[in-house]
Amino acid sequence: MRDLKVSFATRQGVVRAVDGLSFDVGPKEVLGIVGESGSGKSVAMYSILGLVRDANVEISGSVKFQGREILGLSDKEMQSVRGGEVGMIFQDPMTALTPVYTVGWQLVEQLRAHNDMTKQEARERARELLAEVGIPDPKSRLHHYPHEFSGGMRQRVVIAMALSCNPKLLIADEPTTALDVTTQAQILDLMERLQERHGSSIVIITHDMGVIAEIADRVIVMYAGRPAEIGPELDVVRSPRHPYTWGLLGAVPRADVKNRRLVTIPGNAVSPLAVPEGCAFAARCPHKMAICDERPPLRGAHQHLDACWLTDEQRLAIRSVATTRGES
């Protein structure tokens, strides 16, 4: 994906939801995209599949999937990509399934849309899929309606659906946000297991650094529609370079420190209507400098890039002070 830009024309002005996002996803790789609400992470992924249906949207850039440009494909051409080559898992499993059909019906519908299958074959495959995602008694569960499943079980159904046509890429939009903590862990385990077996790549969108640490190989940290930091998961979590990532990691509650106030990043996320020309995070950044009025380029070494004007020496100094104060 190269230089993806998504903007919406609104009455208040142009909203730049995604402003120059580029990344690659290798085969079998798990890429995590983190950011606050409204940082453009979901919109970026929806727009590449043509799921942003808004007359006022403008999408530019280039998205190549297995060597083929898929941005700007017609609806018809897109249909075989969606659900066939790219599967998608959504945030809220409670509303993601059509309430008036059984889950078996909905699985069969997708299988038959992409494969030349008889009803019996599709039904059999649907049963296998439900078994694979760990739904007990899959044969009778096929005949149940979405509202007869719990949230976690419904998310399993959605995962089964996303995987039904053996997609090369799985996009998961906050797959665990709407679930309780124990179910979250189960769903992440399941996704990891299935990814190993099916060999698909995963792009997982989340605002939870814990989810990233659990599952991702590489991470993109987004702020105000722009990438702030990109790098391998271990590097970003252990030695983050961008002040925004410092803030995000600092905001993860810790069990090992008692009586610690919940750390937050000061200020509010920048309004998408008024993203500054320079660094988008500058207004909230405790280390703001004069040069921050210019937009910082994404640079770095060893695949670990970030968009910040701080020099390595400055960062080292800031980080060592923070560590001795026990803040980071």
Alpha carbons 86 and 310: distance in angstroms, whole number = 38
CB atoms within 10 A of CB 69: 10
The one segment of 157-165, 180-188, 234-242, 313-321 that binds other proteins by CB under 8 A: 157-165
Number of H helices, E strands in the chain: 11, 13
Which position among 1, 97, 130, 169 is part of the footprint of other proteins (CB under 8 A)? 97
Nearest partner of 211 among 230, 239, 183, 241, judged by Cα: 183
Measured from the CB atom, is 75 or 256 closer to other proteins?
A: 75
99 binds other proteins (CB under 8 A): yes
Structure tokens at 194: 């299935």
Q: Would you give the binding string for other proteins spanning residues 106-145, x where CB under 8 A is met?
A: ---xx--xx------------------------------x
Which position among 10, 12, 62, 98 is part of the footprint of other proteins (CB under 8 A)? 98
Q: Would you give the binding string for other proteins spanning residues 48-87, x where CB under 8 A is met?
A: -x-x---x-------------------xx-xxxxxxx--x
Helix or strand run (H / E) with residue 267: none
62 beta partners: 2
Alpha carbons 231 and 312: distance in angstroms, whole number = 16
Alpha carbons 250 and 127: distance in angstroms, whole number = 44
Cβ 104 to other proteins shortest distance, Å? 13
Alpha carbons 141 and 138: distance in angstroms, whole number = 5
Angle at the Cα of 230 from the Cα atoms of 292 and 6, rounded to 5 degrees = 75
Cβ 79 to other proteins shortest distance, Å? 5
Measured from the CB atom, is 100 or 257 closer to other proteins?
A: 100
177 binds other proteins (CB under 8 A): no
Measured from the CB atom, is 51 or 283 closer to other proteins?
A: 51
Nearest partner of 274 among 26, 38, 43, judged by Cα: 38
151 binds other proteins (CB under 8 A): no
Q: Footprint of other proteins on this chain (CB under 8 A)?
A: 49, 51, 55, 75-76, 78-84, 87-88, 90, 92, 95-101, 109-110, 113-114, 145, 147-148, 158, 161-162
